[in-house]
Structure 1
Amino acid sequence: MREDLLDPRAVLLHERAPDREAAIRRCGRALVEVGAVAEPYVAAMLERERSVSTYVGEGVAIPHGTNASKDDILRDALCFIRFPDGVDWDGEQVTVCVGIAAREGGHVPLLAALAEILLDPGRARTLREATEVAQVMKELTL
């Protein structure tokens, strides 16, 4: 995956969230904070989740906005948020959220690249257990 997609400031490894909505809001805020999206994108991420769960398995969710929110994306980017205590995701336990902001169909190759990484048990475990930003940067930008 391209290195410029993941700003180290958007890698947060010791977050807590009381529920799925708060976890998605935290992902959205991380993307806002690094200048990747405008504030309305956060609401679009919540709207997406209400229509289709972004849980993908193995304790990972990949929240992203709706097609209608593309104008709120300033640049393609990812955030990586780790919730060590887990978050209930409609009955599943999520410990990692990878938020995506991508314009013009860019989310499809991003999702494919993330799936490839997350389907590798060793790399997925490294990400779920990461305690250093450098570990995440290495795994997601190989």
Structure 2
Amino acid sequence: MTLPVLSKENIQLNQKVETKENAIKMTGELLVARGYVQPSYIDKMLEREELTSTYMGNFVAIPHGTEEGKQSVNESGIAIIQVPEGVEFGTGNVVKLLIGIAGKEDEHLDILSQIAIVCSEEENVEKIVAATSAEEILELFEGVN
């Protein structure tokens, strides 16, 4: 059975996280728990962050693994973690929305472009950060599959 790329079980609301490393681990652990990736993918997500920040602006970070990390991906998926109080991703960069992605082959590029479309509008990001249910967030990502 194929997992949906995004479902309400992949969304965590009102999380508190102290550090960017913990934020990335939390995002990776959700991908692991849902069966999208093997635990080794989390190390590749942390490695990616050391190479180049996954902070995208607009209070959004998109943690994902390195190229070698693809070997640890079982299925393409997205994990969304809402951090209303924010977590610092480098000097002055506050993240309130973590979108962890795992993509098989080149599927991550399609997933990234869909996320970029939704998150390029500040209004959408504000709605996601203020959402009180996973369903509200799912509606904004309806086109992502």
TM-score (norm 2): 0.92
User: How much does 1:54 deviate?
Assistant: 0.2
Distance in 2 of aligned mates of 1:75 and 1:15: 25
Q: Does 1:104 align with 2:114?
A: no
Consecutive unaligned residues of structure 2, counting only runs of 5 or more, are none
CA contact (8 A) 2:58 2:122 kept: no
Query: What is the aligned partner in structure 1 of residue 141 from structure 2?
Result: 140
Q: Does 1:131 align with 2:132?
A: yes
User: How much does 1:7 deviate?
Assistant: 2.5
CA contact (8 A) 2:89 2:95 kept: yes
Q: Secondary structure at the match of 2:4?
A: helix
Q: Which has the higher mean CA deviation after the structures are superposed, 131-140 or 120-129? A: 120-129
Consecutive unaligned residues of structure 1, counting only runs of 5 or more, are none
Distance in 1 of aligned mates of 2:122 and 2:67: 31
Query: What is the aligned partner in structure 1 of residue 114 from structure 2?
Result: 113
Query: What is the aligned partner in structure 2 of residue 22 from structure 1?
Result: 22
1:20 alignment partner AA: K
Provide, for residues 81-138 of structure 1, a one-character-per-residue CA deviation record: whole Å limited to 9, x for no partner.
Answer: 0111110100211000000000111111111111111112332221121111100111
Q: Secondary structure at the match of 2:18?
A: coil
2:95 alignment partner AA: V
CA contact (8 A) 2:62 2:98 kept: yes
TM-score (norm 1): 0.94
Distance in 1 of aligned mates of 2:118 and 2:90: 24
Count residues in correspondence: 140
Distance in 2 of aligned mates of 1:96 and 1:123: 11
Q: Does 1:66 align with 2:47?
A: no
Moved over 4 A (4+): none
Distance in 1 of aligned mates of 2:120 and 2:72: 30
Distance in 1 of aligned mates of 2:95 and 2:87: 5
Distance in 2 of aligned mates of 1:86 and 1:123: 17
CA contact (8 A) 1:7 1:34 kept: no
CA contact (8 A) 1:86 1:94 kept: yes
